[in-house]
Amino acid sequence: MIDFNYETEFKIENEEAIATWISSVISEEGYKLEEINYVFCDDEYLHKLNVEFLDHDTLTDVISFDYSMGKLVQGDIFISVERVEDNAKDFKVDFNSELNRVIVHGVLHYCGYKDKTENDAQIMREKEEYYLAKVK
């Protein structure tokens, strides 16, 4: 099950299509969906989580809390809509493209992909691009 929660005025228009897409990503990666909660929020909300739980005093676009066990994907993904808007401008892409990138980024972490090293980040980016081409 995929749930979308909102701590801001923002709302995804196509929740069902996005949920179907994310489910297909998980399946294609050889995992099984248990439960993912997406929480869309503002910078302040996500910054508090970043400081409290990760001891990072910085703004970020996404934080994933992974509760997966083996091949069962489960977790909470918090996304700052403000960061996504700013990043879309910085990267010169439309908002929905950047939002979808962040949405799939969190799921790819649950499927075992990392992004701490340059090589891992490159693999993550390639996977993001691959799945972004499949979003409807």
115 is in an annotated binding site: yes
Averaged pLDDT of the chain: 94
Tell me the C-alpha distance between 83 and 17, whole Å: 23
Average pLDDT over residues 77-101: 96
pLDDT digits (tens, 9 = 90+) for 26-82: 999 999 999 999 999 999 999 999 888 888 888 889 999 999 999 999 999 999 999
56 is in an annotated binding site: no
Q: Which helix (H) or strand (E) holds 79?
A: strand 72-80
136: pLDDT strictly greater than 80: no
Quick one: what percent of the chain has pLDDT higher than 90? 87
pLDDT recorded at residue 55? 80
109 is in an annotated binding site: yes
Buried b / exposed e over 50-88, threshold 16 CB at 10 Å, is beeeeeeeeebbbbbbeebeeeebbbbbbbbbbbbeebb
pLDDT recorded at residue 56? 83
Question: Which CATH number does 2-132 carry?
Answer: 3.40.390.30
pLDDT recorded at residue 54? 81
